Amino acid sequence: MNLPPEFALIARHFRPLAGEGALDLSDDAAVLDIPAGRRLVIAADAMVEGVHYLPDDPPETIGRKLLRVNLSDLAAMGAAPLGYLMTTSFGRGVADDWIAGFVRGLAEDQREFGLALLGGDTTGTAGPACLSLTILGTVAPDAVLRRAGARAGDDVWVSGSIGDGALGLRVLRGEIPADAAGHLARRYRLPEPRLALGQAIAGLARAGMDVSDGLVQDLGHLCRAGGCGAEVEAASVPLSPAARALVAADPALLSSLLTGGDDYELLFTAAPEAAATVQAAAARAGTPVARIGRMVEGRPAVVVRDATGAGIALAQGGWSHF
Amino acid sequence: MNLPPEFALIARHFRPLAGEGALDLSDDAAVLDIPAGRRLVIAADAMVEGVHYLPDDPPETIGRKLLRVNLSDLAAMGAAPLGYLMTTSFGRGVADDWIAGFVRGLAEDQREFGLALLGGDTTGTAGPACLSLTILGTVAPDAVLRRAGARAGDDVWVSGSIGDGALGLRVLRGEIPADAAGHLARRYRLPEPRLALGQAIAGLARAGMDVSDGLVQDLGHLCRAGGCGAEVEAASVPLSPAARALVAADPALLSSLLTGGDDYELLFTAAPEAAATVQAAAARAGTPVARIGRMVEGRPAVVVRDATGAGIALAQGGWSHF
């Protein structure tokens, strides 16, 4: 009995990714147990060819980016990874080699982040590829990091560096020259989910989320959820050396870094007296963090100030994929 | 601070669908607890416009079909629904009214099947819409229905009626005339997940799955998983009155019903001595079931026999979406 291409594709490419509970991807669903004393954390993010990644991005990094943007949602909740399901609608005529590369990237990140495929579905589309991933994680009941909870007076913190992903996209589009080390393009293609940091600050941070739609817009979410405003000192926002060099040459670029997407850093607030503890937790997690401003009384709005204290005009509120 | 269209769309359309644990769709992930003594069952199926549904299907039934094909996977495992996540990549320029209809259908089925939205993502695509849904359910540890376990000598059972979905698609494409009651088109658009039956036969059935890619192909899966063959009596396969009338007029149609997709019935095997218990369980679940053949010794293959005992030639093995 010959099986149609859909099943052959699953057997050849996806079955090797399957983990415990996936039932070898041969049943109608996965069956698993959540460890005692842990809560289930679950999120789903999709990526569309030409919207969230470029058609000529390497397939290895596309699979990894899909997994990592979802892992970033777990990080934002203070959760640890458990597994994932994935539905792929590949464009008609996708090459077997391309799928092999996509899967190779997933396999690499499964090892790096300690999780495995639990199930999903594979189909075709006449349009751009649509990739959807559902991520499962767990968290201790008293260590859930939420968006609500910021208070006026809190410090605002962000991990890593801001703006690399948005600059990387412009590099890959040929709009600006690439940095010699390829740092910016790599940051666009391979975000770094801050899982260790998320777990380290859960309980310390008053509110937190990941920055996926631009720092200013996402800080606006923390404002709305907390019923307060925020002030950011532009000079305190951490930039990579590559981004810093570009901003030095063109200071107007800064505004687009603060509102660009694809950062996948953690943004959180904490009481000022917790600052040293936050720094210590971040050091244990091996992730740099920077204090970029504070939450303030008033309506939910974000003001970014330059070195003179003047507000900086921002080109756009953030990035919408719709 | 104005929010971009993506957030407005989520707030207006999807937030009213959100259930407990969804955190109002305002956080990066949902957080929930699996009831003590239950295992988590999880599956994900995608639908692509023009492949799994027709572009002019009513949006109400598209949302419901997306939910129901996933609920059918829970039914196939003997599980009860808990919640779902959904990623939608709508075509550019989708009308707000269309999305409102899509959501209205989901809301109706949430009430009918007792579950709610937990999270997801909304984006756009330049191509056909891609809809992906991840379904969560729970099952008692000793009541998981699996594909493996069929033995030679088992009866083969199927629920409801076979072939309506495949005929409904042909009706909607204008290839065959519609039945007066509209039964066939309705069955294509609104499959009936056999949740009560799946839970009722878990423990009784030796092996089971849902029929989504054609009866013959899916029975082939039970054969391979059980290491045996299957023989089906064509005359025993349950047909709706509408399908029966079409087959009476064109007997050659039968073969395409046995291999067509979109049935979403339960297919399972049980020991012959359990037949009366299976019938009683199905009656309690309010779902008709029919014995259509038996598992046999030999290589994993499906033979369909006519009333004379002769094998029927089958046009194709089943339906592949790829």
For the purposes of burial, counting CB atoms within 10 Å of the CB of A19, is it exposed (0-12), middle (13-18) or buried (19 or more)?
Answer: middle
| Strand ranges for A10-162 from DSSP E | 30-32, 39-48, 80-91, 117-125, 130-139, 155-159
For the purposes of burial, counting CB atoms within 10 Å of the CB of B296, is it exposed (0-12), middle (13-18) or buried (19 or more)?
Answer: middle
How many pairs of residues across A and B have Cβ atoms under 8 Å apart? 244
Q: Write the DSSP string, B227-291.
A: T-EEEEEGGGS---HHHHHHHHH-TTHHHHHHH-S---EEEEEE-GGGHHHHHHHHHHHT--EEE
CA-nearest of A95, A83, A70, A75 to A34 is A83
Cα of A130 to nearest chain B Cα, Å: 7
pLDDT score for B93: 86
Whether B225 has a pLDDT exceeding 80, the answer reads: yes
- Please tell me which residue of chain A has the smallest CA distance to B69: A28
How many CA atoms does the CB half-sphere of B51 hold within 13 Å? Answer: 23
Contact B181, B242 (CB under 8 A): yes
- The helix/strand/coil state of B23 is helix
Tokens of B3: 């929010």
User: Which class in CATH covers the domain with range B155-305?
Assistant: alpha beta
Under an 8 A CB cutoff, do A73 and B28 touch? yes
Sequence ranges of the domains in chain B:
5-139, 155-305
pLDDT score for A92: 86
Rg from Cα positions in chain B: 20
Backbone φ and ψ for B128, nearest 5 degrees, come out as -60, 150
Please, which contacts does A47-51 make with residues 24 or more away whose CB atoms are closer than 8 Å? A47/A130, A47/A131, A47/A132, A48/A128, A48/A129, A48/A130, A48/A131, A48/A321, A48/B89, A48/B123, A48/B124, A48/B125, A48/B130, A49/A91, A49/A128, A49/A129, A49/A130, A50/A128, A50/B126, A51/A128, A51/A321, A51/B123, A51/B124, A51/B125
Please state which of the ranges A89-98, A285-294, B38-47, B281-290 shows the lowest mean pLDDT: A89-98
Contact A106, A63 (CB under 8 A): yes
Contact A160, A268 (CB under 8 A): no
pLDDT score for A117: 98
Tokens 């792929």 appear where? A88
Residues of chain A scoring pLDDT < 70:
1-4, 315-322
Cross-strand pairs, A218: none
Contact A9, B321 (CB under 8 A): no
Range list of H helices, A114-211: 164-172, 183-189, 195-201
Contact A223, A317 (CB under 8 A): no
C-alpha A318/C-alpha A305 separation (Å) is 17
C-alpha B148/C-alpha A249 separation (Å) is 65
Under an 8 A CB cutoff, do B147 and A34 touch? no
What single-letter DSSP state applies at residue B299?
S
What single-letter amino acid sits at B57? D
pLDDT score for A266: 98
pLDDT score for B321: 45
pLDDT score for B78: 97
Cα of B162 to nearest chain A Cα, Å: 19
**What ipTM was assigned to the predicted interfaces of this complex?**
0.94
What single-letter amino acid sits at A168? G
pLDDT score for B1: 44
B227 contacts in chain A (CB < 8 Å): none
C-alpha A279/C-alpha A259 separation (Å) is 25
Cα of A2 to nearest chain B Cα, Å: 8
Which residues, 6 or more positions from A53, have their beta carbon under 8 angstroms from its beta carbon?
A47, A61, A62, A65, A189
CA-nearest of B219, B67, B200, B39 to B131 is B67
Residue of B33, B48, B318 lying closest to A89 (CB–CB)? B48
Q: In this complex, is the C-beta atom of A298 within 8 Å of any C-beta atom belonging to chain B? A: no
What single-letter DSSP state applies at residue B18?
B
Banded pLDDT at B315 (limits 50, 70, 90): low
Q: In this complex, is the C-beta atom of A318 within 8 Å of any C-beta atom belonging to chain B? A: yes
pLDDT score for B7: 79
Tell me the CA distances in angstroms from A161 to A120, A203, A258, A292, B8, one per residue in order.
Answer: 34, 23, 11, 11, 29
Whether B318 has a pLDDT exceeding 70, the answer reads: no
What single-letter DSSP state applies at residue A256?
H
Query: Percent of chain B scored above 90 by pLDDT?
Result: 89
C-alpha B40/C-alpha B138 separation (Å) is 5
pLDDT score for B4: 65
Which residues, 6 or more positions from A6, have their beta carbon under 8 angstroms from its beta carbon?
A122, A123, B320, B321, B322
Q: Do domains B5-139 and B155-305 have the same CATH topology?
A: no
Tokens 């000529």 appear where? A56
**Which of A31, A71, A199, A210 should we substitute to test contact with B (largest number of B Cβ atoms within 10 Å)?**
A31
Q: How many CB atoms lie within 10 A of CB B291?
A: 17
C-alpha A238/C-alpha A290 separation (Å) is 7
Contact B230, B294 (CB under 8 A): yes
CA-nearest of A206, A162, A200, A201 to A184 is A162
Contact B45, B69 (CB under 8 A): yes
B88-127 in b/e form (b: 16+ CB < 10 A) is bbbbeebeeebbebbbebbbebbeebebbbbbbbbbbbeb
Q: In this complex, is the C-beta atom of A11 within 8 Å of any C-beta atom belonging to chain B? A: no
Cross-strand pairs, B296: B229
Under an 8 A CB cutoff, do A321 and B148 touch? no
Under an 8 A CB cutoff, do B40 and A28 touch? no
Tokens 């629920």 appear where? B159
Whether B316 has a pLDDT exceeding 80, the answer reads: no
Contact B111, B147 (CB under 8 A): no
Q: In this complex, is the C-beta atom of A124 within 8 Å of any C-beta atom belonging to chain B? A: yes
pLDDT score for B314: 81
A24 contacts in chain B (CB < 8 Å): none
Domain B5-139 indexed as CATH 3.30.1330.10: yes
- Answering whether pTM is above 0.90, one says yes
